[in-house]
Structure 1
């Protein structure tokens, strides 16, 4: 994804809690009926050229596009009720945390993620000044993708370390992930970034949703950035107990890593807001739509029933430091 305009200066949130005597302590947590407190709803044109109208919080609430259901699950979705004329944009939701971060352990417990032809959903963090302050894409995919793509975007100079000198703890098993590109430097004209694709077909899309979703964890420290994906059937007990210990997690689930030896986190990543969004078509989903139904991505956007699965269902987002 590419970033939104500058977000507000951080302010304390009412749902912030803390713990003690733990490897990582909770600094912010969003779950249940208060989930949408502390987020800004983005309502400007989509910077990735998607065929969506991002709506305000009041518009999202009245149209039932953002709400917390009876089970305490936060839902963000694309309108799936209206049929549109060709070329019209469909209403959708994009939110960013009012608070910004310079590191931490970010854990998303997702019951389901957006999926379907023309759909492009992402969960990511991004700095105020893109790409100089960086971007970390934790969950992202388009159309019928079944494998999660994890990407960072930065100013020139950040790369993925694929050499034997990669620090212990930052070695990704390339049987479970593949590299998209090793050069992370991005610009408006070349914004591919560098990243990893999870080779597990349960890491994104319909199969993941059918399995009850997954838990994604991104650790950002002075040593580098790591991303894990845990299937619903094998979430570590320390995450469930809100006392996470990344050093003990099964290395099979480490899906992406950028050590500071070749991508200095303090230099390339600063003041990040957490972001959810769902766009349609746009630079990526539209660019690889060939072979999809309707003959074109724009045609797919016209029928509302095509987007019943284009939604985030989130149990919680927790930030530890």
Structure 2
């Protein structure tokens, strides 16, 4: 125990010394705030999902999105049969109009979309682009009946992660180490969450949701943290929803280990070469490049005895759990950030 404590103390001191500043509350969205400052995208799904993204006016009219003073909801149509000639099942995809370079994104999430054929994600990507220039960070992502969250980086060539033995500690399991989108069908360099309670899907929802934080920094690298709603170790500055402003610093003593740790190390991945100011995105698609490609042979196919696309078209009630409930989203940036 003493050896482990000394290791964490040295690591925490090292991180504190290399950081230039605390991160201070810059933007905050709660409830109806999401109807301003976000773009409701209506283009074809770039991941080839069986989805029809609708604009804000249509989403409000169809009750696919609504809010009160405390929560913001985005959902899929769960009442309509989808015509085979249509683009797909109605859903929502929104992106922030502001972009942030070095930042900490903190999401208080009560419910995420879950179920067969679903592919929800909360992520960030370069506003400047074009993708994958400037990088992508998947903070929440999974498909079908996946049990734990997966965090992943997607980049241009020459961004890799060091092997686990040389990597800063994380509680998750490394899935791949080459972040280049041109490698392995754009699987990116991913980490599966393996500790700290249910981090994805129905189990996450049954547990009342939880808190995600993504750190994006030249000195700290890119880290994704997760705390279940009922965890006794949620840092106070994360749980209090940023009341009164305040600042954040991801100290290992108060925050614990990140679930996913992506160091920006010399010889592996240079921050300024692969990342710049990122906007945030929420979306919910169906089937497509991931959920659709993993459908054959899955539990979902076995239970439904159908193709993914047919399942999406013909089973609206199966998407009654396909919705986001966001309590708050906060962005913190260094005092020197422009």
With the shorter chain as reference, the TM-score category is 0.7 to 0.9
CA distance in 2, matches of 1:206, 1:229: 16
Aligned equivalent of 1:76, options 66, 74, 77: 74
Query: What residue in structure 1 maps to residue 328 of structure 2?
Result: 316
Q: Secondary structure at the match of 1:288?
A: coil
Cα shift at 1:268: 0.6
Aligned equivalent of 2:203, options 204, 207, 222: 207
Query: What residue in structure 1 maps to residue 293 of structure 2?
Result: 287
Query: What residue in structure 1 maps to residue 152 of structure 2?
Result: 151
- Bigger drift between 209-218 and 194-203 goes to 194-203
Matches within 5 A, 1:152-171: 152-162=153-163, 164-166=165-167, 170-171=168-169
Query: What residue in structure 1 maps to residue 124 of structure 2?
Result: 125
Cα shift at 1:240: 2.4
Cα shift at 1:283: 0.5
Query: What residue in structure 2 maps to residue 106 of structure 1?
Result: 105
CA distance in 2, matches of 1:117, 1:253: 31
CA distance in 1, matches of 2:183, 2:278: 19
Q: Counting helix residues as a fraction of each chain, which structure ranks higher?
A: 2
Cα shift at 1:163: 5.0
CA distance in 2, matches of 1:250, 1:120: 32
CA distance in 1, matches of 2:89, 2:123: 22
Q: Structure 2 vs 1, CA of residues 145 and 129 (structure 1 numbering), >3 Å: closer, same or farther?
A: same
Q: Structure 2 vs 1, CA of residues 288 and 306 (structure 1 numbering), >3 Å: closer, same or farther?
A: same
Provide the alpha-carbon RMSD of the alignment: 1.9
CA distance in 2, matches of 1:191, 1:183: 10
Cα shift at 1:165: 3.9
CA distance in 2, matches of 1:76, 1:107: 18
Q: Secondary structure at the match of 2:282?
A: strand
Residue 256 of structure 1 pairs with residue 255 of structure 2: no
Q: Quick check: 2:149–2:199 contact (8 Å CA) kept in 1? A: yes
CA distance in 1, matches of 2:278, 2:102: 8
Query: What residue in structure 2 maps to residue 15 of structure 1?
Result: none
CA distance in 1, matches of 2:180, 2:321: 33
Structure 1: stretches of 5+ with no match in the other structure: 1-21
Q: Quick check: 2:121–2:142 contact (8 Å CA) kept in 1? A: yes
User: Quick check: which has more Rg, 1 or 2?
Assistant: 2
String of CA shifts for 1:180-239, please: whole Å, max 9, x gaps: 210001139831111100124611010110111010000011121011011101221121
Cα shift at 1:73: 0.9
Cα shift at 1:132: 1.6
Q: Structure 2 vs 1, CA of residues 162 and 250 (structure 1 numbering), >3 Å: closer, same or farther?
A: farther
Q: Secondary structure at the match of 1:61?
A: helix
Q: Quick check: 2:154–2:179 contact (8 Å CA) kept in 1? A: yes
Query: What residue in structure 1 maps to residue 317 of structure 2?
Result: 305
Query: What residue in structure 2 maps to residue 24 of structure 1?
Result: 23
Residue 247 of structure 1 pairs with residue 246 of structure 2: no
CA distance in 2, matches of 1:309, 1:163: 36
String of CA shifts for 1:105-139, please: whole Å, max 9, x gaps: 00111001111000000000011221121000000
TM-score, normalised to structure 2's length? 0.82
